Structure 1
């Protein structure tokens, strides 16, 4: 059981991405004490918050692999999980487009592979059928995946974490792991953020750093190769151009699925990602040559795109086990490499889609070391922020009557009210960064990219929540927005 003063837990999870938070939620079903340490100031600060936001169907992965099995399982349960957690999700379908005969052969192979994996409804379109289905897209044929969907990956990870907290899990942010040693009476002693944690079982869900965490525990042989994908974000007017994700037929040996176009759950359109192996697991720079190439490839898929529709850019990193000379994908590693030490290594796409099945698999491994008797009071549902712009006029009036802060719109581009911002600030994880507020309330993400509302949010943090201007940060330590007052 829990000894708060000594930071002693039954289970310690390292890493606050979607998989780590899904593991935390799944293990919170038991009567065991669980904690999670994360080196950043919030969840989803790495791969889980920088991706295409697609729920994959499972046809890209080798039959018999964990990737294929867990992706299909995750896809088929994703809508129900999002309803439980109040996370926006929409099943859109997906189109893979062929531009030559070689691409058509790839699509036929993917269809057979997907059917072997248990994917539902996959079918091919010839050029005439493609023109009738989506006339604005180029190509000589396509494959349709009706089970593909889109969602908000940051809110998804936040919701998993908040639900875990509601069920007793403790989260520790700004706690980078620097040492792992055997405990004097079994288990492990983990040094993180200048604190010491004792745990009978440790779960390594550190993503891009999972090889380093494994090595700290004495498990050698893993190596993660960071692969950077860069993206453009287009204004919401571009979202009207495309109702579903459109991908090119993938090329053999590439580090990703190719540059694609993806509508977001919030109405924007994404272009990307690129696929470039790099050295640093923290290099999320956007680069001019790659971005120029992104747009050229995107216009091959959708000629109507215009550069004036671009409002932002970002980059994410895939934690690949396949080295640059090999490319492609290696399977997920989910195993207990030492007694009581569970490694999750190489959890790249479709890791988000597969996060809950991965968590269930981890729970089964942990159950070999600890009795995971279920708790009777587990709360499966999590309540999210009430979104003013998504309500009917009558519901909006009722929200304002109950809370006048719903009557003050702070972010005009996304119609985010002061009440929603307040709920974001007062989140169960205790996060007070501007990025944390942004991704919970979706303020600063519109056409002006925070030009109007960001100063107002910062002012709210100072005046209503007592932060000094110097303590207002974008992502936590090392990202201050202000040096002090000028008047």
Structure 2
């Protein structure tokens, strides 16, 4: 969310900065989700979630075109299995139409089978504007375009204190001892938004972390799902239920589960939940084999409702009148990904009440490059690239067919992020079947030989995740092992 707001503010002649506790953007809730753009029928008419979801969904085609981010408008079937579910679908259709969701239609078994052969159910709500996107691709694209338009990014800087300034504005202190000042402070800290509120003297909010676990399936099943398939939602459930979600890169996700936690950074996966996901996954898609499960991961929802209440509260997006210059975003869970560009516009309007926003004629909304990976290009374009640059002819990631040049581009990214996860999110290296068994040693060698990295420089995702631990001695050719 912070990257979307930063990019929106970069349209104007202002000095803007993003202070991020992680060593890259999008390592939290922004990217640890299903990558679904929701249509907007699940939310109460007039709520921020409803209004911003429908608007944000409509903005995504142009945004993804400009940022070179993959998006697929595949639609969704929300499926009923009994009379109670059918009543839920009728209510959701009415609610969606009140929200302005386009193209909603209740369909029977025959039409369901045409859209998704083999789907089970008595009735379905079809929403053609439901889509899939790369959540990390969007987050990185927003950040890099904001950076290109003048926004400063300070990665690895966890905010530890806020202090109001005598003449207005804020002083922001980080764990490294750095201090930043700003006339307007936007709290887009996700799971830590309530913590940042307390630093500003606001005690109104509590965040209840709720973990959702996923399985990732091999791309062997690419094309099996023609649309998003969701069960009819249950009353007061913390999420929309376990479902199968195709991704823009050809994998299928099973999940998410829902489990309240005390630790907002506990991204573990549990044996019981994994077993349940396998069971439900095979019920929804019998073609799944045990060999198709290649990875699991989890994401955490920043919920405002405790476990004994369940359900969801509306987003909090406010320009605090009692704490001047403090714009607050709290509880931005699903459909936050879909809402991001619309929320950014809303926050821009709030910022404009504090400082003048003069359009910058040099703003460029277009991010350079292509949304396609080398392996997705036509044969003649591949040949031309290899002829011009032999690095395109060397495969580093065998599963995903990622070339050396794509790895070099990922390492040399504009934000300066250098962890293995940062390279993974940009180049898809280690996202394939062997999960890095082939490519990680080769990426390590590139970082050592071409960038001069030492063993202690190699991190998986953060300062607390070294790749090499203990005594490291040089191997053959001087390689760390």
| TM-score between both structures, scaled by the size of structure 2 | 0.96
Of the three residues 384, 393, 397, the one matched with 1:411 is 397
Q: In the alignment, which residue of structure 2 is the partner of 1:144?
A: 126
**Matches of 2:102 and 2:290, distance apart in 1:** 36
**Matches of 2:111 and 2:137, distance apart in 1:** 36
Q: CA deviation at 1:43?
A: 0.4
**Matches of 2:54 and 2:82, distance apart in 1:** 29
Cα pair 2:186 2:327 within 8 Å, conserved: yes
Of the three residues 203, 215, 240, the one matched with 2:223 is 240
**Matches of 1:448 and 1:173, distance apart in 2:** 30
Q: In the alignment, which residue of structure 2 is the partner of 1:81?
A: 63
Cα pair 1:469 1:485 within 8 Å, conserved: no
Cα pair 1:228 1:284 within 8 Å, conserved: yes
Q: CA deviation at 1:361?
A: 0.5
**Matches of 1:306 and 1:104, distance apart in 2:** 31
Q: In the alignment, which residue of structure 2 is the partner of 1:12?
A: none
Q: CA deviation at 1:412?
A: 1.1
Q: CA deviation at 1:307?
A: 2.6
Describe how 1:141-180 pairs up with structure 2 within 5 A: 141-180=123-162
Describe how 1:12-27 pairs up with structure 2 within 5 A: 19-27=1-9
**Matches of 1:62 and 1:477, distance apart in 2:** 42
Describe how 1:441-480 pairs up with structure 2 within 5 A: 441-480=427-466
Number of equivalenced pairs: 469
**Matches of 2:422 and 2:300, distance apart in 1:** 20
Unmatched tracts of structure 2, length 5 or more? 476-481
Could you say what secondary structure the match of 2:346 adopts? helix
Q: In the alignment, which residue of structure 1 is the partner of 2:262?
A: 279
Name the stretch that deviates more: 120-129 or 462-471. Answer: 120-129
Could you say what secondary structure the match of 1:97 adopts? strand
Q: In the alignment, which residue of structure 2 is the partner of 1:319?
A: 302
Matched, 1:375 2:360: yes
Cα pair 1:238 1:269 within 8 Å, conserved: yes
**Matches of 1:367 and 1:132, distance apart in 2:** 49
Describe how 1:25-40 pairs up with structure 2 within 5 A: 25-40=7-22
Of the three residues 47, 61, 64, the one matched with 2:46 is 64
Of the three residues 187, 191, 199, the one matched with 1:216 is 199
**Matches of 1:295 and 1:99, distance apart in 2:** 20
Could you say what secondary structure the match of 1:443 adopts? coil
Cα pair 1:311 1:447 within 8 Å, conserved: yes
* Residues 376-401 of structure 1: CA deviation (Å, up to 9, x unaligned): 10011002366211110000011112
Matched, 1:43 2:25: yes
Describe how 1:357-436 pairs up with structure 2 within 5 A: 357-384=342-369, 387-436=373-422
Q: In the alignment, which residue of structure 2 is the partner of 1:261?
A: 244
Name the stretch that deviates more: 67-76 or 291-300. Answer: 291-300
* Residues 24-49 of structure 1: CA deviation (Å, up to 9, x unaligned): 00111111100110111100010011
**Matches of 1:109 and 1:306, distance apart in 2:** 37
Q: CA deviation at 1:116?
A: 0.7
> Runs of at least 4 residues of structure 1 off by over 3 A?
none
Matched, 1:129 2:114: no
Q: In the alignment, which residue of structure 2 is the partner of 1:191?
A: 173
Name the stretch that deviates more: 298-307 or 339-348. Answer: 298-307
Aligned-pair RMSD on alpha carbons?
1.1
Q: In the alignment, which residue of structure 2 is the partner of 1:349?
A: 334
Q: CA deviation at 1:232?
A: 0.3
Q: CA deviation at 1:348?
A: 0.5
Q: In the alignment, which residue of structure 2 is the partner of 1:229?
A: 212
Cα pair 2:22 2:155 within 8 Å, conserved: yes
Q: CA deviation at 1:195?
A: 0.5
Q: In the alignment, which residue of structure 1 is the partner of 2:91?
A: 109
**Matches of 1:409 and 1:116, distance apart in 2:** 51
| TM-score between both structures, scaled by the size of structure 1 | 0.94
Q: CA deviation at 1:451?
A: 0.6
**Matches of 1:140 and 1:56, distance apart in 2:** 22
Could you say what secondary structure the match of 2:216 adopts? strand
Cα pair 1:35 1:169 within 8 Å, conserved: yes
Of the three residues 273, 280, 286, the one matched with 1:297 is 280
Cα pair 1:136 1:304 within 8 Å, conserved: no
Unmatched tracts of structure 1, length 5 or more? 1-18
Could you say what secondary structure the match of 1:241 adopts? coil
Cα pair 2:402 2:427 within 8 Å, conserved: yes
Cα pair 1:136 1:303 within 8 Å, conserved: no
Q: CA deviation at 1:486?
A: 4.2
Cα pair 1:139 1:301 within 8 Å, conserved: no
* Residues 294-321 of structure 1: CA deviation (Å, up to 9, x unaligned): 2222333223323321100000000011
